[in-house]
Each structure stands twice: as C-alpha cells, then as structure tokens.
A = this chain, B = another copy of it.
Amino acid sequence: MIGCVEDDSVDRHLARWRGKAPYDERVEGVVTRMQFLVKHLKQFKEAALAQVGMQDFEFETLHRLVAAGGSATPSKLAAEMLLSPAGMTGRLDTLERSGLVRRVRGSDDRRRVDVELTAKGRELWTEAMAIRARVESELVSALDADEQQTLDALLKRLMIQAESRR
C-alpha cells in the first residue's frame, strides 16, 4: 500500500488553494514536495557535516572527485554539478586552502587544470560519507525496498526528460 492517510504541509498548502487558480494539483504536489525534501536534506546534512568541520559544498566536490577516480578538470566538475565555472573556482580555492585538493597544470594542454584529491582529502571524505549516508538513509528508509525502487525508477524517467531538454 503506497497511499497515506495523514496530511503533510504540502497537502495543507494545496487544500487552501483548491479552485483558486488554474493549476494542476498533481504536478504542483510533485514539484513542491521535491523542493521541500531537497531543502530539508540540505539543512540536515549541513548540520551533520559540521561535526567534522566540513561544509556541504566541500563534500559534494570531494565526492565527485573521488567518483572521477581522484582527479578531474574544473569545467568537467562544474558541468556535472550544474555550477558555473566561476563558482567552481571559488570552491576549489577553499578546498585547496584546506589542503584537501591540489591543482596541477595539464602537461599536454596547458589551458587545462587537473584537480587532484590529496590524502587528507580522501580521509575526510570517508568520514563524511558515513555521516551523510546516515542522514539520507534516515529519510529514505521511510519507504521499504520495493517502494524505493519504484520511486527511483519514476525519478529516473523525469531525469531523462530533463536531460533531453538541455
């Protein structure tokens, strides 16, 4: 049983609204809930990460870097994270200042910069992984495995739609 009797804040919001505007309640519900959940996660993860003295955006960057095998170019990272190149420069500055990351000029194409993870960076990332995973899991585990699977599949369909319009 997927349905749910209880109301959430979005239900209350939509109810106050019914009939007052020509809009699709289902679409609005989906979008509003996703926005809220993402914001909620962000706030909780930030609070949790403060335990190891790291900020959310720092972890996010380290994470992509580890995923890329320990090194990548700034523009590649920026594109993956839907971030402006300028924003990425700022992030890398702070990470480099904390010694979590190192910038190396590309040897073949000297316009490029390779960003490499330091040992300290990898270590801190590992710690942070556990913390983040716990927070995310606390939220998502409200659903059982099958339901998570269904949710993920539906979101993926939206992803493909989104990425085709880019």
Contact = CB atoms under 8 A, between A and B. Distances in A.
Interface of A: 2-4, 6, 8-11, 13, 16-17, 20-24, 26-31, 33-41, 43-44, 66-69, 80, 82, 129, 133, 136-143, 145, 147-163, 165
This chain: copies in complex: 2
A160 B142 contact: yes
A56 to B, nearest CB: 11
Most buried by B among A41, A80, A133, A157: A157
Contact of A16 (B33, B68, B145, B147): B68
A105 B41 CA distance: 35
A37 B2 contact: no
Nearest to A16: B67
For the residues of A in contact with B, the DSSP-based class is helix
B27 A67 contact: no
A162 B32 CA distance: 14
Contact of A140 (B27, B136, B142): B27
A154 B150 contact: yes
B159 A10 contact: yes
A17 to B, nearest CB: 5
A142 to B, nearest CB: 4
